[in-house]
Structure 1
Amino acid sequence: MSKVISTSALKKVSFIEPPIIVDSISSLNSSKSANKLFGRLSSARLINRIRIEPLIEKSDTDFNSPRSLPTTLFPRKSISEEVSNDPKTAAWLKPVKIWWKIGKFLLHNYRAGFTNTYRVFRDTRTLPTDLETQLFRKIEYHEIESRLNTTALPLDIGISRRQLQEWKRRNMIWKLPTFGLLVLLLEELAIVFIHFWPNFSPWNCLIPSVYKKVSDRRAERLKVSSSITGEDLNYKSVFAIPHKEALQYAARMGLVPVWKSLIYTWSGNTKFSAEILRKWHQYLFVDNWFILRELFSAENRDVVINDRELVNMILERQLFTKGEDLNAMVQSNDGQLVMLMRLIIYLSWQFNNTVTVGGPKLYNEKWGVNNVGIMNFPGSTRLVNIQEAGNIQQIEKY
């Protein structure tokens, strides 16, 4: 069950931006009137032009980077059905053939992940180490200039979202030696080892069952906001988060290796944890900016989002609850709609009335500089389910 902020709790909360209420069609209609960005992004005309595409060759664009992300589908069921229905295979041989085909798939998945991890590292070698900070400042400069001169924001900032995503995962290269040795020694049995110790695997080599284990761990939020309790959502600096809690969150989210987080915890230097949170906050802003640009383009053309990308967007923003299988959700139209609506609500709440979307305020003017107090809040009183996502689609109001 998704956590709910009660009506009584809402009355006690100080919101810079009112949360989007998803309980009924009338409350959704009111939220669309109050939040113009939500009304714009959730229009049926725009939603119907967004296609979630599982095939890499049909979604290999400057927006998507499927090669750096893990597969969303493990074909155990299809392999089992194919072999079971094969009249040419003897009954006693079918279980052996099923496991042989599964092992073959795993080795192919590992080989592709190994190759793509190297290519991602190679293709991002010229990008600066502080790319998220540079892009954050560049976007802010463009928005200040746009507001002063009353000109349109530039659509190109010299780098694509795909490059940003691959830059973020380029450090997976350092997992290849250990991972390669594991696969060499254990072959398809390496999956058993990775199931218990997923940190040994490059990100794009994970299979859905292991990904589910990782996502359950990452469902636990940084204890800074009212995303669960309904407490105050006012400004919280990266330095306001207790050192130990910040490092535990960073390790959980894969922002820093566990061994390094233990060293930072032992050192007691709060600068390390604050810097990690600052960079993560800036990365999310830049990625959100790219996503908004792409969603807006759906007003004029069809937009393709790879299914791996949609799953990753939901994971990074913690727009799910423990127990939800994101890879299973993205396989159905209903699941895709729920995930897309959660993302739209999150973006609408954070960016409504900002210069990014044609409003009067800079993002930092609205929320404050590096405000991690809003990082976990999904933008709504609770995460939407399929019925509520369907209700949003029915309402045509700008």
Structure 2
Amino acid sequence: MMHCPIWARACSSARTPGVPALISLRDARLFQESLSANSTLATFKDAYQTGKFRVVEDEDKASAGLNSNRSLPMLQFPKYRIFEEVAKDAKIGEWRKPVTKWARLAKAVLKMYMVGLKNNWYIRKSAKKVTTKFGTTPEQFAAELYKDMTFQEIEHRIKGLRPAPLRINRSEFQELHRQKEFWKIPAFFALYVVFEEFLPLICYLLPSIVPWNCLTPGGFKKLSDLRVSSKSLLPFKSQDKLVPAYASPYSVPLDNVIGLLRSHRMISRWKAAVYRVSGNRTQLCELLTQLSQNLTLDDWFLVSQVVNADGIVAITDRELVNAVLERQLYFKGEDLNALASTEIGRRLLVWRLLIYWSFRFHGTTVTGGPKTFSETWGVNNVGIMNFPGSTQLLDFNTLKNVVDQCCT
């Protein structure tokens, strides 16, 4: 039985009238109208264009307390860089270069695995300090933070002040969530000892066994394709409304709940089988509520920084990829790592996030509006979970012919 306080059964209010309108991507004129009608979207546009909100590769140049690269996988596989270095090295004989290329690549990947395992240990220790300090579990603390966020919104509205920081920053919040990868270490380390140089091949074939921050881009691509396949299970997909209607976690079909939790790594395969046979909805719906709250909290951390910070707000390219992945703001087959490694690809991913945030948070207190998030959408409304905020997900063609026409 989970002990985190869940409001889904106690509070199932319907969606409040007057929610934000969809961001139109049909043509440049309609997108310009969305910019005029949605002041949050206009604020995000200005922040991104002026460089106040930016994406960086080096974590040292990123905003403190906002990023955790050590808990995330690499973006670029080092194969081509290493092969080129060997090819240009005059000290290595031509007959040795083919073997040297693969040997150095294997060594680099194994080193990456060891660094990832060590980082998982440090993440676990840091998360333990947080939960010990506040005398709670990660699940309970996330639920408490969600309530703190709501109280902050109410206080912000009453006093007219900027939202005050929560008890922890985003980096600590994310590591509380990501530290569960620690439990993969024993099995992964055993594979490392037994197979050594063959471990990268095993990890590519079975990426789910790999701690998240040890994934190669190939393994990440496999898992991201599996994640986006569950998009059809999202509550808004079963509605015939342009703007999603309120949906309680308990209104979502059991198979859809299980599929979403599996794709977001919230439950294991064997637990999913047990829940499916037993028909037990309570714990599953609490987990779905927890997933929705975690995403909203993460949005709040990021949006409040972009809107209210005095200086530059910078997230790393790894955090950008992970944010888009968790919100399922991509098409099946898209390589998020490859997109984030190019300037135009980063712009595409950033704009998807900005549109998504503008739809969710326009009119709420964190962006200067009169309502709390729950007043705008209803308490624990999973109907808007991972909804992109527009009638279509932004693609390269629309970025060029619609968004860029209004933002140049």
TM-score, structure 2 as length reference: 0.88
Aligned equivalents of 2:345, 2:204: Cα separation in 1: 25
Spell out, residue by residue over 1:122-154, the C-alpha distance to the aligned partner (whole angstroms, 9 max, x if none): 01113232222111100101212232x242133
| Aligned match of 1:39 | 42
Q: How does 1:276-295 map to 2 (within 5 A)?
A: 276-295=287-306
Aligned equivalents of 1:396, 1:328: Cα separation in 2: 24
Give the deviation of 1:97 after TM superposition. 0.8
Q: How does 1:208-219 map to 2 (within 5 A)?
A: 208-219=217-228
Of the three residues 171, 191, 209, the one matched with 1:182 is 191
Counterpart check, 1:381 vs 2:388: no
Spell out, residue by residue over 1:358-380, the C-alpha distance to the aligned partner (whole angstroms, 9 max, x if none): 11121111111111111131011
Amino acid in structure 2 at the alignment position of 1:32: L
Aligned equivalents of 2:233, 2:329: Cα separation in 1: 15
Of the three residues 152, 170, 174, the one matched with 1:165 is 174
Give the deviation of 1:230 after TM superposition. 4.8
| Aligned match of 1:96 | 99
Aligned equivalents of 2:114, 2:265: Cα separation in 1: 23
| Aligned match of 1:248 | 259
Counterpart check, 1:356 vs 2:366: yes
| Aligned match of 1:3 | none
Does the aligned pair in 2 maintain the 1:43–1:393 contact within 8 Å? no
Does the aligned pair in 2 maintain the 1:35–1:348 contact within 8 Å? yes
* Residue 22 to residue 278, structure 1, CA distance change in 2 (3 Å): same
Of the three residues 332, 339, 351, the one matched with 1:322 is 332
Give the deviation of 1:45 after TM superposition. 6.0
Aligned equivalents of 2:339, 2:60: Cα separation in 1: 22
| Aligned match of 1:57 | 60
Aligned equivalents of 1:350, 1:315: Cα separation in 2: 17
Does the aligned pair in 1 maintain the 2:163–2:366 contact within 8 Å? no
Amino acid in structure 2 at the alignment position of 1:17: P
Aligned equivalents of 1:183, 1:35: Cα separation in 2: 52
Spell out, residue by residue over 1:174-220, the C-alpha distance to the aligned partner (whole angstroms, 9 max, x if none): 11100001111111311222222222111100010100000000002
Does the aligned pair in 2 maintain the 1:351–1:357 contact within 8 Å? yes
Give the deviation of 1:110 after TM superposition. 0.5
Aligned equivalents of 1:225, 1:244: Cα separation in 2: 12
Counterpart check, 1:145 vs 2:148: no
| Aligned match of 2:214 | 205
TM-score, structure 1 as length reference: 0.90
Amino acid in structure 2 at the alignment position of 1:53: V
Aligned equivalents of 2:317, 2:238: Cα separation in 1: 28
* Residue 230 to residue 42, structure 1, CA distance change in 2 (3 Å): farther
Secondary structure of the corresponding residue to residue 42 of structure 1: helix
Unaligned runs of 5+ in 1: 1-13
Moved more, 357-366 or 86-95: 86-95
* Residue 226 to residue 263, structure 1, CA distance change in 2 (3 Å): closer
Aligned equivalents of 2:160, 2:21: Cα separation in 1: 29
Does the aligned pair in 1 maintain the 2:307–2:367 contact within 8 Å? no
Does the aligned pair in 2 maintain the 1:319–1:378 contact within 8 Å? yes
Give the deviation of 1:226 after TM superposition. 4.4
Moved more, 324-333 or 245-254: 245-254
Amino acid in structure 2 at the alignment position of 1:270: R
Counterpart check, 1:340 vs 2:350: yes
Moved more, 127-136 or 314-323: 127-136
Amino acid in structure 2 at the alignment position of 1:119: Y
Moved more, 134-143 or 289-298: 289-298
Aligned equivalents of 2:74, 2:381: Cα separation in 1: 33
Does the aligned pair in 2 maintain the 1:113–1:204 contact within 8 Å? yes
Report % sequence identity.
34
| Aligned match of 2:245 | 234
Give the deviation of 1:17 after TM superposition. 2.8
Secondary structure of the corresponding residue to residue 392 of structure 1: helix
Does the aligned pair in 1 maintain the 2:258–2:272 contact within 8 Å? yes
Aligned equivalents of 1:144, 1:304: Cα separation in 2: 28
Unaligned runs of 5+ in 2: 1-16
* Residue 243 to residue 145, structure 1, CA distance change in 2 (3 Å): same
* Residue 116 to residue 357, structure 1, CA distance change in 2 (3 Å): same
Give the deviation of 1:301 after TM superposition. 2.0
Spell out, residue by residue over 1:313-348, the C-alpha distance to the aligned partner (whole angstroms, 9 max, x if none): 000000001000000011111111111100000000
Does the aligned pair in 2 maintain the 1:71–1:204 contact within 8 Å? yes
Number of residue equivalences: 382
Does the aligned pair in 2 maintain the 1:354–1:360 contact within 8 Å? yes
Secondary structure of the corresponding residue to residue 52 of structure 1: strand
